[in-house]
Amino acid sequence: MNKETITSALSNVTYPGFTKDIVTFGFVKNIEISEEGVAIRIEITSSAPEVAAQITDEAQKELQKAGISNATIQIDAPQMPRESSSHGKNIAPQVRNFIMVSSGKGGVGKSTSAVNLAIALAMQGKKVGLLDADIYGPNVPRMLGLEGVKPQIEGNKVLPLKAYGIEMMSMGSLTDEGQSLIWRGAMVMKVI
């Protein structure tokens, strides 16, 4: 048993999702042979645990085919990225259901659909809140007849406006008619 035999066996282990093997990619970083056995360190680029598991399983099989049964394989993978946004976390635990109306194209009736859906749910006796996340062209206040009406502020909270049994919050209620916003990036995300 030598490093060439081990490297040859590992060259039969294909990196998941690719046609190249882990040796060709240069992922095999260290091979140590001792009386206790073989210790192999493989450094991969994926943080997915299933990729590491698949490489470990296939490497063990290929090494066993080559007559090496006492191999220890250490997979070094990048850390899974931490969730830095509120994605996956319920930021409003008191709200049971969320319905999002969106489109990648403008002018297709997103606000109209959202307002009609909200009114229909309110007419069925549901408690409905509508957040108009259109920062640059908010139309919901106009559709609900709340154009020019400013929300009340209690402490550090802005209270939603009410119409047709719906509680509504929109950038259109916070800015004056015709006033343009020059907000970008992080500022916009904090508002929503």
CATH class label, 3-76: alpha beta
The residues of the chain that CATH labels 3.40.50.300 are 110-191
Q: Tell me the per-residue pLDDT of 47-73, one tens digit each, with 9 for 90 and over.
A: 888 999 999 999 999 999 999 888 999
Mean pLDDT estimate for the chain = 86
DSSP H or E segment with residue 166: strand 166-170
Which of 88, 87, 111 is CA-nearest to residue 101?
111
Which of 114, 117, 173 is CA-nearest to residue 142?
173
Would you state the pLDDT for residue 117? 95
Does domain 110-191 fall into CATH 3.40.50.300? yes
Max intra-chain CA distance, the chain: 82
Would you state the pLDDT for residue 191? 65
pTM for the full model? 0.50
Phi, psi at 76, each rounded to 5°:
-100, 120
H helices then E strands: how many in the chain? Answer: 6, 8
Which of 21, 119, 32 is CA-nearest to residue 71?
32
- CA distance linking residue 24 with residue 55, whole number of Å: 14
The residues of the chain that CATH labels 3.30.300.130 are 3-76
Q: Tell me the per-residue pLDDT of 123-176, one tens digit each, with 9 for 90 and over.
A: 988 899 998 888 777 889 889 999 888 888 898 888 999 999 999 988 877 777
DSSP H or E segment with residue 143: helix 140-143
Task: Read off the pLDDT band of 181 (50, 70, 90).
Answer: low
The tokens for 167 are: 């509680």
